[in-house]
Structures are given as structure tokens and as C-alpha cells.
Amino acid sequence: MRLEREADLAVARGMTERAEDFYTSLGMPKLPASFWDKAQLVKPRDRDVVCHASAWDMNLAGDVRIKMCIKPNEEDFTTIYHELGHVYYYLAYNDLPPLFQSGANDGFHEAIGDTVVLSLTPDYLHSIGLVGKPRQSDQAVINAQMRMALAKVAFLPFGLMIDRWRWGVFDGSITPDRYNEAWWALKAQYQGVAPVQMRGEDYFDAGAKYHVPGNTPYTRYFLAHILQFQFYRALCDAAGYQGPLHQCSFYGNKEAGQKFWSMLKKGQSQPWPETLKELTGSGELDATAILDYFAPLQAWLKEQNQGRSCGW
């Protein structure tokens, strides 16, 4: 049993070191020794824990940790890169007064690691010896983009409607006698989704989403899904990349890393549009980077749907 645990920990640490390598390849510092001593990388055998991945800044002064139950699969592999995005944000702004030790806006923190995950291209995975030399056909590109779009693009209307409902409750425009009616009206408006059967006010379907009863703002995730592509395009430009955006990896590029680190160090010390502008050249959210990334899929869908009426 002990040998099995040591093997699991070795694998988890190796995966985490691989993610750390991406950040250090950009010129960012190595994780502090305390991270390796105190982070939870595997599920403890002597107690129950919540395995949902999270990152923590314990003292606003460099005691950074992640809490995961890492398994050797693709989902956990990319999740580590995401969680280390939070950790490196913490480390970058730890020199600021505590009041400014936060993301530039709610979406920034969630977008940092996901920006790096977008850079985990087949060429990157080949460069670290994880896959063979990629030989992607057009079909493989479309399949990969469709898979990504179902996670990233399809999320946008859902991410928006969650807080549209919450805000309506807070401002009184959605009253208790129509909580469920308003929930499904927003789902129809933004997602084109309808319940399979009538759902009256004796149901509270909104409560099935954790962030509603947990009173957790959800716009941060909506913003992050836009910002991550905006950050990614700016960093690819900083790296001097030329080519289809979805094929870009800025791994190992110190110029991109310096721009990234400079943004992270600002924390919440100035209005977020100023921080955004310093990295991207624009102080406004810009979803055109999403269109640039998914250009092959959009062209394919346009061809497949020719002559059809799409929507609801």
C-alpha cells in the first residue's frame, strides 16, 4: 500500500513539474519549496477530502498551494496547468499591498491558466515527449475544434444566463412566485433549451446549479472564456507567431512571458481596462480572438449548414 501511494505521488508530482516547466520556460520563477511540502497532490488515505481542484494563497506572502487528487489522465493534466495559473498570479502580485492582491477583474484569475492550456498544442505535446509527431488531417483539426467549441463556445450563453437570473432576483424583477418560470425563459432565450416536461413553481431548478444556492457570482467564468482567447492571441503576437491561431504555442518564449508576467504583477492595483490594454493593446473585451481561433470550424460549419436555417 505504501509503495502504491509513493508511486501515485511520484506520478502526480511529475505531472505538476511538467506544468511548472511551462511557466518557468516563459521566464517565471520556480515554485517555492513550501509548495512541494504543503500542496495536496494526491488523495490522502487517512481521511475524506473534497477532491475538487483549487488553488490557495495562504498568507499573501508566498505560501501558495494547490489541492487536487491527481490521476494520470488528460483532464487532470490540463487542470494542473489551470490551477498553476492561479498560483503564478498569486506569486506575481504578492509584493503588492493586500488590498491589491486579486485579479484585475473577476474574470482574470480564471483566464490565466486557461490561456496556457490553449497553448498545449499537438506540437507542444510532441516537444515534451507526450505524443508522437503530429500529422493532423483536416478532419482531425475539425474534430479537435468541435470538441473545444463544445466546452468553450457553448459555455458562453450558459455562463451569461446564470447571472442574468441572479441579478433579476437581486433587483426584484424576478419575484419568488416566478423563479422557475424566469429560469426557463432565460434558458430558452440564451441557450435554446426547454424542459422535457412542465416545470411549475413547485420546482426550484435554478438551485441545481451550485453557484445559485452558494451565492457565487458566475460572470467571472463568462468573462474568463472571452479573456483567455484575447490573452492567448496577444501572447502569440508577442512571441512573433505567424499562422493559424489554434496552432500557436508560446512555450519557451521569453518575450511573451515577460508581457504575461508584467500583467500578472499588476494584480488589482489599477483599473482592469488599463491592465488589459498593456497586454493586448485594447482596454475592451474583444471576442474576435474566439472567432480567429475557431476559424477552421466556422468555415466548415458554414459549408455544412448551407441552405439551412439555424437558430430558435
Tallying the residues shown for the chain, one arrives at 312
* 255 within domain boundaries: yes
Distances (CA, A) of 199 to 94, 102, 309: 48, 40, 29
Query: CA separation (Å) from 83 to 101, 120, 268?
Result: 17, 15, 19
Q: What is the C-alpha separation between 143 and 154, in angstroms, rounded?
A: 15
Q: What pLDDT does 134 receive? A: 82
The pLDDT of residue 1 is above 70: no
**What's the confidence (pLDDT) of residue 133?**
87
Bridge partner residues of 57 (DSSP): 64
Q: Tell me which residue range forms the domain holding 20.
A: 2-136+251-280
Task: Give me the percent of the chain exceeding a pLDDT of 90.
Answer: 92
- Answer whether residue 32 is part of any domain: yes
Residues 6+ apart with CB under 8 A from 165: 174, 182, 183, 186, 206, 212
The answer to whether position 127 is within a domain reads yes
Q: What is the pLDDT of residue 135?
A: 80
The alpha carbon dihedral of 204, 208, 212, 217 has a sign of negative
Evaluate whether residue 312 is within a structural domain. Answer: no
Closest CA to 88 of 235, 270, 262: 262
The C-alpha atoms of residue 128 and residue 26 are separated, in whole angstroms, by: 15
Average pLDDT rounded to a whole number, residues 123-146: 91
pLDDT tens per residue, range 163-174: 999 999 999 999
In a domain, 265, yes or no: yes
Q: What is the distance, to the nearest Å, from the Cα of residue 120 to the centroid of all Cα atoms in its chain?
A: 13
144 lies in a domain?
no
Give domain status of residue 310, yes or no: no
User: pLDDT (tens digit, 9 = 90+) per residue, 195-224?
Assistant: 999 999 999 999 999 999 999 999 999 999
Mean pLDDT value across the chain: 95
> pLDDT tens across 7-62, in order?
889 999 999 999 999 999 999 999 999 999 999 999 998 899 989 999 999 999 99
In the prediction, which pLDDT does 260 show? Answer: 98
Alpha carbon dihedral 110, 112, 118, 122, in 10-degree steps, equals -120
How many domains does the chain fold into?
Answer: 1
Domain contains 25 = yes
